[in-house]
Amino acid sequence: MKRIIIDREKCDGCLNCNIACISAHQKGSNFYTVNLQSPDAETRNFVKFDAGKGYLPIFCRHCDEPECVLSCMSGALEKDPVSGHVQYDENKCAACYMCVMNCPFGVLKPDKKTRTKVIKCDFCDDKPDGPSCVKACPKQAIVVKEVNL
């Protein structure tokens, strides 16, 4: 199964991963034309700064036993048995945000525009080149690796 792997030591906080994520999910945009002022400008990953630890990239881990899936009462979150990725169906979402509250990494969040759906990493499954954040990282701090679970 493929997973996004982060090398925190390489991250310099450039936020290219955030911009790439937003542009990958914003219709009609690319890395250079993304509208960061749009209510649709939502990243599915985060880079925080800690004075003692430096930059802390926070990405969905598509966990082996995802708390978000286990706490989802509507069935909007499911773990794909083939890819191992946690998939989200916004049409099934009840906007109870149990998944947001139960994610141990604090990755999932309500959307800013309507607060009726959850924003989470979809591994850019619709992109033939894979996750946009990986391609956008100039330091190669974000990579996709095959992991055996």
CATH number of the domain residue 68 falls in: 3.30.70.20
Same domain as 109, residue 82: yes
Distances in Å between the Cα of 106 and the Cα atoms of 92, 126, 139, 140 are 21, 24, 24, 23
Same domain as 130, residue 114: no
Instruction: Let me know: does 113 contact 41? Beta carbons within 8 Å.
Output: no
| Range from 23-32, 52-61, 73-82 carrying the lowest mean pLDDT | 23-32
| pTM over the 0.95 mark | no
Report the sign of the C-alpha dihedral through residues 12, 36, 6, 55, in that order. Answer: positive
Same domain as 66, residue 55: no
Minimal CA–CA distance to 140: which of 2, 8, 3, 1?
8
Distance CA 93, CA 120 (A): 13
CA–chain centroid gap for 55, Å, is 17
Name the pLDDT band for 29 (thresholds 50, 70, 90).
confident
Q: What is the total count of domains within the chain?
A: 2
The count of other CB atoms within 10 Å of the CB of residue 16 is 20
Same domain as 66, residue 16: no
Same domain as 111, residue 129: no
Same domain as 112, residue 66: yes
Same domain as 54, residue 31: yes
pLDDT tens-place string over residues 90-124: 999 999 999 999 999 999 999 999 999 999 999 99
| Boundaries of domain holding 94 | 62-120
Same domain as 112, residue 92: yes
Same domain as 147, residue 98: no
Name the pLDDT band for 31 (thresholds 50, 70, 90).
confident
Instruction: Show the tokens assigned to 122.
Output: 């979809």
Same domain as 49, residue 5: yes
Question: What is the reported pLDDT for 28?
Answer: 86
Question: What is the reported pLDDT for 4?
Answer: 94
Same domain as 130, residue 116: no
Same domain as 134, residue 84: no
Beta strands in the chain (DSSP E): 2-6, 46-50, 54-58, 77-79, 86-88, 109-110, 118-119, 142-146
Average pLDDT over residues 35-53: 93
Name the pLDDT band for 149 (thresholds 50, 70, 90).
low
Query: Nearest 5 degrees, angle CA 40-CA 78-CA 16?
Result: 35
